[in-house]
Structure 1
């Protein structure tokens, strides 16, 4: 995450202990279904996202919103951009734009799911490319932050449950 967005204006972190090995946890990260996270599914449905029961949370849904960044085996990293105004999208991949775009009116987003030292975490970082965009984004961030936190914790719980089932051989 530090490589993607070392600086940010807005940040949210959630953690959950998972007593399982890295292989089981990361397999669960990639395999967890929306049907396993009912609260997250309900909240994301309000946004119009396709959260059909059989869709995988990470690989089918989140990766459809931006670029998946290759990382070490303990992390899934996602990059996204959004223009607050009706401006043309700058040239480049989403990951390139998150790393280097300075065009005004753009909000850069980095999100991860990481498993290290028995803790599964998700972190979101948001960086606006200019002060006006940051000021305009702040009310939105304050509005969505509670629901976003509930969504993230529901996702983490679903991943933990799946990882524990896999570790137990169920």
Structure 2
């Protein structure tokens, strides 16, 4: 069983992207592990746009709590890393809300055990596999599970709205990992 299937075997939404990289799987997964999307100016800009409603709510005093820091990979809980060819992260929340409605997970077991109606679970996986031509195919897959119909009905419009932007971000991530993985090989 793959780690992604272990942590999120059932899901309602899925997005997958891949890139072939001229490096071994270990180097590719290490580059993926080190990558921080928030270092990408385009990612920061796109996430900044996504956060406008939340920040505006704070500015206008509609939310009493302090404005959270910008969204980044640090909000995810590391779930698994196997055999130098897999990385897996999890996120739990009401992603359609202006503040993402995130629920903090202490660890991978808390993620596995979490089951609350109306709150979605997201798994973001990277897998690296050696190809017959000697390259490594890095695949990223995002899965989202909504535990009930009400959650699915709230998440679906959000998903279809952000999906093109999310795909762009994933392709940029894969490109940056490719560049970093191949840097020492040129």
**TM-score past 0.5 threshold:** yes
Unaligned runs of 5+ in 2: 52-68, 131-135
Equivalent pair of 1:81/1:109 in contact (CA under 8 Å):
yes
How far apart in 1 are the matches of 2:146 and 2:37?
30
Q: 2: distance between equivalents of 1:146 and 1:34?
A: 17
Equivalent-residue separation in structure 2 for 1:81 and 1:108 (angstroms): 5
Aligned counterpart, 1:55: none
Q: Which moved more, 1:11-20 or 1:30-39?
A: 30-39
Say if 1:80 and 1:94, in contact at 8 Å, map to a contact too. Answer: no
Displacement of 1:149 in angstroms is 0.1
Moved over 4 A (4+): 33-38, 48-51, 88-92
Number of aligned residues? 157
Partner of 1:144: 162
- 1:57 aligned residue: none
**What CA RMSD, in Å, does the superposition of the two structures yield over aligned residues?**
2.9
Listed one character per residue, the Cα deviations across residues 50-94 of structure 1 (whole Å, up to 9, x for unaligned) are 48xxxxxxxxx41x1121013202111101100478xx9889636
Give the structure-2-normalised TM-score. 0.72
Q: 1:21 to 1:14 in 2, by over 3 A?
A: same
Q: 1:78 to 1:13 in 2, by over 3 A?
A: same
Q: Which has the larger radius of gyration?
A: 2
Query: Bigger CA drift: 106-115 or 75-84?
Result: 75-84
2:140 paired residue among 106, 122, 125 = 122
Give ranges in structure 1 of 5+ residues lacking alignment. 52-60
1:43 matched residue in structure 2: 46
Q: Residue 124 of structure 2 contacts residue 142 of structure 2 at CA under 8 Å; is this kept in 1?
A: yes
Equivalent of residue 179 in structure 2, options 127, 151, 161: 161
Equivalent residue number for residue 77 of structure 1 = 88
Question: 2:87–2:125: 8 Å Cα contact kept in structure 1?
Answer: yes
SS of equivalent residue, structure 2 residue 145: strand
**Partner secondary structure for residue 77 of structure 1:** strand
